[in-house]
Chain A
Amino acid sequence: MVEVNERSAVRRLYDRFGFGARPGDLDQPFAEALDRLLTAPPGGNAPAPPDLPPPPRPEKNKKDKSAEQTEQDRAAKKKANKARAAQQKQLAAWWLDRMVAVDVATTERLTWFWHGHFATSAQKVKIAKLMLDQNEKFRKLGLGSFTDLAHAMIDDPAMIVWLDGNDNKAGAANENLAREFMELFTLGVGHYTEDDVREAARALTGWTIDRKTGVAKFVAKRHDDKPATIFGKQDDYDASSFVDLALSREESAPFVVGRLWYRLVSPTPPDEQARGRLLDAYGARRDIKATLRAIASEPAFRDEKTALVKQPVEWLVGLLRALGVRPSALDEKLQAKLYKGLMGLGQVPFRPPSVGGWPSGASWLTTAAGLTRLKVAQAVVEQANLDSLAQNKDKVEAVRALLAVDAWSDRTRAALGKVAADPAKVTALAACAPEYVVSA
């Protein structure tokens, strides 16, 4: 194993536990940087979440079936849809801005991780306020205990809407939430049987969402109170005891720790000994922050080969942070450009493609993405203050330092050299270089 040097290790820490280093971040030693990332109070400089009043729900006039009334109903529905779509965009814009604005981004990075883990999409949930509430739970609990987080998700209103928990009632179980909770959130595929799914669905019956207030409510008469047999154990389960049961399975801790490793470190799993150390840190408390600390002290964390492809949002937020551009400061047209760019790259916050979350690795390195990335980078650079770059004689080297890239390859240095006279071009292009697109 070849170890990266101290400065690269610090840079990697900022890449993986945050959204990349900003000017000055790399001058700290590793231990201090880690402390800063894990203990800084979250939310320094963060914009407050938007106010998202429930949009008016159009009441259908069921009795009056005249053409005029139908037309009115349709117009009302269209108006309501438009209002909802506007709130969803407002919410996504706020989060993107917050990721860029905060001094220390660890809490936002973990919020982003958990959003991909418990992947819930506004495409079906519709009510932006529910998505925000779920997001705030990730923010509040995301560095705490996975026990609390899992419990918070099983009766989370957005999650219940997303996975049809609302329709899951005694005598008429709906398996969606029960299955995905085991497969994708706590245990991993293959660590439960089809019978476990059916029985767990019964344990989760009875939860409903009040469509007006968006509050999750347990309705006892919808709950199947006959005992269920899950993982061979018969009991009167409810949602909470089902979560405890799933988390107590021996496959759960390696699964959760494995997902953190996969997204924050490398698609190559840790070796047996490292895995043991990580599981010790996770421990009975299911401590996420302790796990992160353990991850950072693993030798594999400093392995030269431990590279990760930045997801589009990570790439964009990192670029905005490095260049000091707040999305909220952009005019409407440029904001729309960023949103469309993320759509083109296949990753919009609050809209994961499925409950399985976003893909990873080479999936982001498609031919089409290369071009979209350049267009997005050009839009960002338009708003950046590049005076320091303009005054620098060696712009290729200066932009390397600005983006906190360890080193340019000869290929990239030559390519950037072709536009070195133009600070905007050289910066946009540098953001598309393989050395920046991938966190080595």
Chain B
Amino acid sequence: MNDHMNPLTRRRFLTWSGIAAAGALAAGATQVDWDDLMSAAADDPLDPDAGVLVVLTLYGGNDGLNTVVPAGDDAYQDLRPELAYKPDEVLDIGEGLGLNPGMKGMKGLWDDGSLAIVRGVGYPNPDHSHFRSMGIWQTGSPKSAVPTGWLGRWLDATDGNPLHALAIDPVLPPLFAGEKTAAASLPAGGLQLPKGDLGAAFAALGEPVSGEERWQATAARSIADLHNAAKTLGGAVHGPDTGDREDDEERDKGASAGGKGGLAAQLDVVARLIEAGVPTRAYSVSLGGFDTHADERDTQERLLSELDSAVTPFAKRLAATDRGKQAVVLVYSEFGRRVKGNASEGTDHGTAGPVFLVGDRVQAGFHGEQPSLTDLDDDDLKSTTDFRDIYAVLLQDVLGADPARILDEHPGKLDGLVAT
């Protein structure tokens, strides 16, 4: 970040201001030789064997127990009688568990051997705040608030080309904020730059000025990055306009914790970019609305159907190309929900939840232990797998990076999750 804020001040600031907005603390400008990068992107498209990671964030705290459902467990039926699915309602995947009825496509992926489910994923001393917990997942740092995201640090550790990470979102998600570099972003509608003298003048606004104020320098750099991104991606992207989504009463009930819709359009753009061989190795997409404090069943089932109908064709499309076969999709949420239902036919904030990994290279099946419904910690599930154990696999086996540096020497790694 900037020079006049040492780590101590920064931490105090985060405490004082109340919200750890990692995105707000993203890197200032670094000097990058764009001409070199441009010729590299043109001469040297992404290695067809290079792994690609697609991070899909479910905002709001998805109820894991009604996603991977222990329908046959009496404790589950007793603790949330109004919300519980009966065993014959869920899509059986063995070990007493079934997928939510909205996830028929993903049940197919499970049967085909391209879906892995890691159960009971969380971190020590779980935080029940959406913003703290999402911050923890996105920064990969449960112990202290840090200003960088886990993939932002990965980006810093590569050659600093922001194109290596791409958010399909106009606003930068904190996971992509690095100390030196921030990821590029692309609206689902694509990039059409102006031409002629206006185009030339616009590009010239992106020139660095030595000694410029740091936000202004960041603004200038974002314009330079835009032109770079458009040159590299422009031909590949003229996606659908996701524009004005019509409101959907059921799915909007859990909206107070953020995220957005239009997942299928976001993934469509990602699929095209992967197939075109752009040098991007990490993508971020999202789906919001999972904060189901009330009337959960319909709302969540609707959202999981949206997830299912976006991810399933995406996975099938990836499996059909060599580049696509190198891609792994990570699906996670900031926390699961309380085991016991509340009386609004919903659930309050909880702890551990399942994480999905989708792709040709994924070792399909269950990983991690299913948390007990009777041995609880203050009414909440005890996590059985640390999320950083999954990040370590993705960093090492998909992105080919050293996880120790990026995850602050976190020792765990969930071996056997991804084929190397």
Q: How large is the interface on A (under 10, 10 to 19, 20 to 34, 35 or more residues)?
A: 35 or more
| Alpha-carbon distance A360/B258, docked complex (angstroms) | 15
Contact indicator B129/A366 (Cβ below 8 Å): no
Q: Are A346 and B348 in contact (CB under 8 A)?
A: no
Known: A367-B184, A438-B215. 17 other contacts (CB 8 A): A126-B247, A167-B344, A171-B343, A174-B343, A176-B348, A183-B18, A309-B215, A340-B243, A361-B25, A364-B171, A367-B162, A367-B222, A369-B222, A374-B194, A417-B201, A425-B201, A429-B205
- Least CB distance from B143 to A in Å reads 13
Distance of A97 Cα from B226 Cα, bound (Å): 31
At the interface, yes or no: A409 with Cβ under 8 Å from chain B?
Answer: yes
Cα separation A363 to B149 with both chains bound (whole Å) = 13
Chain B residues with Cβ below 8 Å from A435 are 216
- Which chain A residues (268-293) contact chain B, with CB distance < 8 Å? 268-269
Lowest 8 A-B CB distances belong to which pairs? Answer: A172-B343, A354-B258, A167-B344, A188-B18, A415-B204, A361-B24, A434-B219, A362-B26
Question: Which of A39-47, A139-147, A254-262 forms contacts with chain B?
Answer: A254-262
A183-B131, A188-B15 as given contacts; A411 in contact with B209, CB under 8 Å = yes
User: Contact at B27–A362, with CB atoms within 8 Å?
Assistant: yes
Assuming A124-B256, A355-B256, is B204 touching A418 (CB within 8 A)? yes
A437 to B293, CA, bound (A): 38
Q: Which residue of B lies closest to A416 (CB)?
A: B201
Q: Write out the residue numbers on chain A whose beta carbons fall within 8 Å of the beta carbon of B131.
A: 183-184, 189, 354, 356
Inter-chain contact A434/B256, CB cutoff 8 Å: no
The chain A residue with its CB closest to the CB of B170 is: A346
Interface centre among A176, A340, A353, A360 (most CB of B within 10 A): A176
Q: Give Cα A344–Cα B262 distance, bound, in whole angstroms.
A: 13
Interface segment, one of B65-73, B185-193, B301-309, B406-414: B185-193
Shortest distance between the CB of B252 and any CB in chain A (Å): 5
- List, sorted by A's number, 13 A–B pairs whose CB atoms are closer than 8 Å: A188-B16, A188-B17, A269-B12, A361-B25, A366-B167, A366-B170, A409-B212, A416-B201, A419-B198, A432-B202, A432-B223, A434-B215, A437-B219
Closest Cβ neighbor of B204 among chain A residues:
A415
Task: Check B346–A174 contact: CB distance below 8 A.
Answer: yes
B23 touches A367 (CB 8 A): no
User: What residues on B are CB-neighbors of A344 within 8 Å?
Assistant: 170, 187, 189
Flag whether B349 is at the interface (Cβ < 8 A): yes
| Chain B: minimal CB distance from A387 (Å) | 21
Residues B5 and A268 in contact, CB atoms below 8 Å apart: yes
A266 to B291, CA, bound (A): 31
Residue from B23, B249, B378 in contact with A362 in the complex, judged by beta carbons closer than 8 Å: B23
- Which residues of B from 238 to 271 have beta carbons under 8 Å from A? 243-244, 246-247, 249, 252-253, 255-260
A425 CA / B208 CA spacing, docked (Å):
22
* Residue A199 interfacial (CB < 8 Å): no
Given contacts A366-B170, A366-B185, A367-B225, contact A307 B378 (CB under 8 A): no
- Taking the nearest CB of chain A, how far is it from the CB of B136, in angstroms? 11
Residue interface bits A156-194, CB-to-B below 8 A is 1, else 0: 000000111011110111111001100110011110001
Return chain A residues, CB-CB under 8 Å to B320. Answer: none
> Is there a chain A Cβ closer than 8 Å to B56's Cβ?
no
**Cβ–Cβ contact B246 & A167, under 8 A:** no
Inter-chain CA distance A369–B171, complex, in Å, is 8
B305 → chain A closest CB, angstroms: 18
Chain B residues closer than 8 Å to A359, beta-carbon distance: 21, 23-24, 171-172
B405 within 8 Å of A (CB atoms) = no
Given contacts A121-B255, A123-B252, A258-B16, contact A418 B215 (CB under 8 A): no
B349 x A267 contact (CB < 8 A): no
Q: A414 near B: Cβ within 8 Å?
A: yes
Q: Contact mask A59-102 → B, CB, 8 Å, 1/0?
A: 00000000000000000000001001100000000000000000
Partner of A353 from B129, B162, B260 at Cβ < 8 Å:
B260
A371: which of B226, B260, B291 is its contact (CB, 8 Å)? B226
- Within 8 Å of chain A (Cβ to Cβ): is B375? no
- Would you give the 0/1 interface string for A201-221, flagging 1 where the beta carbon is closer than 8 Å to chain B? 000000000000000000000
Bitwise, A103-135 to B at CB < 8 A (1) or not (0) is 000000000000000000101101000000000
CB closest chain-A residue, reference B60: A354
Asked if A360 meets B205 with Cβ closer than 8 Å, knowing A123-B247, A305-B213, A354-B256, the reply is: no
Query: Would you call B13 an interface residue if the criterion is a C-beta within 8 Å of the partner chain's C-beta atoms?
Result: yes
Q: CB distance A368 to B256 under 8 Å?
A: no
Q: Contacts A164-B294, A179-B128, A189-B131; is A365 near B219 (CB within 8 Å)?
A: yes
Distance of A340 Cα from B197 Cα, bound (Å): 26
Contact B16 A354 (CB under 8 A): no
CA distance A6 to B13 in the complex (A): 29
Interface residue? B161 (CB, 8 A): no
> What is the minimal beta-carbon distance from B226 to any residue of chain A, in angstroms?
4
Contact A85 B247 (CB under 8 A): yes
- Which of B4, B24, B132, B252 is in CB contact (< 8 Å) with A363? B24
- Output the nearest chain B residue to A164 by Cβ-Cβ distance: B293
Query: Quick one: given A269-B17, A362-B182, are A81 and B247 in contact (CB under 8 Å)?
Result: yes
* Measured CA separation A368–B182 after assembly (Å): 13
CA distance A258 to B21 in the complex (A): 14
